């Protein structure tokens, strides 16, 4: 009983410490951090649910922060060693190295992923992004999606969350399509997940978790 209470207390304390870390990062670099707190468990699980754990190949996470989505990926059954985490903040990178010692942590700019990720075109099983995309010009966002899809297995999704009503990158006819989930209202603020695939779709449709 005492052990369970201690575990709960430690988890609460870790979460609280992460929230303080995040808030500090947001105060120092609001546009880069993009949120005042880490994503909630429901949103993290939803993002992870779109990665096919049976599909081989590395999975790249862009902007993992304190690792809540990373943790959801691992809980989904994805071997930590398959994860490549690209994070701008050196402090978050140190934390990620401690929490996911078998993952590859790269401190750098996710928008340069084509140069940073040393994987063959078509080899990634998925890309999971929490980047605050709207802080960058549309051309930079489009290039990121194009570069990522080029590195990914055909049909694998580029998974992005946002708080906005409109897709962070509009689909481009004949190149890539976008679908969206319904709102995750338990997240603060409510968010939704956008899925980019090389397959062009006629229009954005509601999508449910796998």
Ligand X SMILES: C[S@@+](CC[C@H](N)C(=O)[O-])C[C@H]1O[C@@H](n2cnc3c(N)ncnc32)[C@H](O)[C@@H]1O
Neighbours of 194 (CB within 10 A): 24
Q: How far is the CB of 4 from ligand X (least distance, A)?
A: 27
Residue from 72, 93, 110, 124 in contact with ligand X (CB under 6 A): 110
Q: Does 131 bind ligand X (CB under 6 A)?
A: yes
Q: Does 85 bind ligand X (CB under 6 A)?
A: no
Q: Cβ closer to ligand X: 74 or 177?
A: 74
DSSP 130-185: ---GGGS-HHHHHHHHHHHHHHBPTTPPEEEEESSSS-SS--BTTTBEEEEEPPBT
Angle at 45 between CA 105 and CA 82, to 5 degrees: 30
The three-state (H, E, C) secondary structure of 67-112, written as one string: CHHHHHHHHCCCCHHHEEEEECCHHHHHHHHHHCCCCEEEECCHHH
Residue from 46, 58, 60, 87 in contact with ligand X (CB under 6 A): 87
Q: Does 145 bind ligand X (CB under 6 A)?
A: no
Calculate the alpha carbon distances from 202 to 107, 157, 161, 173, 178 in Å.
Answer: 37, 17, 21, 9, 9
From the list 4-12, 115-123, 129-137, 171-179, the region that binds ligand X by CB under 6 A is 129-137
Q: Does 157 bind ligand X (CB under 6 A)?
A: no
Q: Does 95 bind ligand X (CB under 6 A)?
A: no
Q: Does 162 bind ligand X (CB under 6 A)?
A: no
Q: Does 65 bind ligand X (CB under 6 A)?
A: yes
Residue from 51, 68, 103, 127 in contact with ligand X (CB under 6 A): 68
Q: Does 69 bind ligand X (CB under 6 A)?
A: yes
Q: Does 38 bind ligand X (CB under 6 A)?
A: yes
Residues near ligand X (CB under 6 A) are: 32-35, 38-39, 63-65, 68-69, 86-89, 92, 109-111, 130-132
């Amino acid at each position: 009983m005492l052990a369970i209470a201690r575990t709960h207390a430690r988890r609460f304390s870790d979460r609280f410490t992460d929230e303080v870390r995040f808030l500090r990062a947001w105060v120092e670099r609001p546009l880069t951090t993009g949120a005042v707190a880490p994503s909630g468990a429901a949103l993290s699980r939803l993002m992870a649910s779109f990665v096919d754990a049976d599909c081989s190949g590395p999975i790249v996470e862009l902007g993992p922060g304190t690792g809540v989505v990373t943790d959801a990926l691992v809980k989904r059954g994805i071997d930590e060693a398959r994860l490549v985490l690209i994070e701008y903040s050196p402090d978050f990178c140190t934390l990620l190295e401690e929490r996911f010692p078998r993952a590859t942590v790269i401190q750098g700019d996710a928008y340069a992923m084509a140069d940073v990720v040393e994987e063959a075109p078509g080899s990634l099983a998925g890309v999971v992004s929490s980047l605050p995309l709207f802080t960058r010009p549309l051309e930079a966002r489009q290039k990121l999606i194009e570069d990522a899809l080029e590195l990914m297995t055909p049909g694998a999704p580029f998974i992005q969350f946002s708080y906005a009503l409109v897709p962070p990158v509009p689909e481009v006819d004949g190149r890539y399509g976008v679908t969206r989930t319904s709102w995750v209202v338990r997240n603060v603020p409510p968010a939704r997940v956008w899925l980019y695939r090389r397959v062009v779709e006629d229009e954005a449709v509601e999508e449910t978790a796998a």
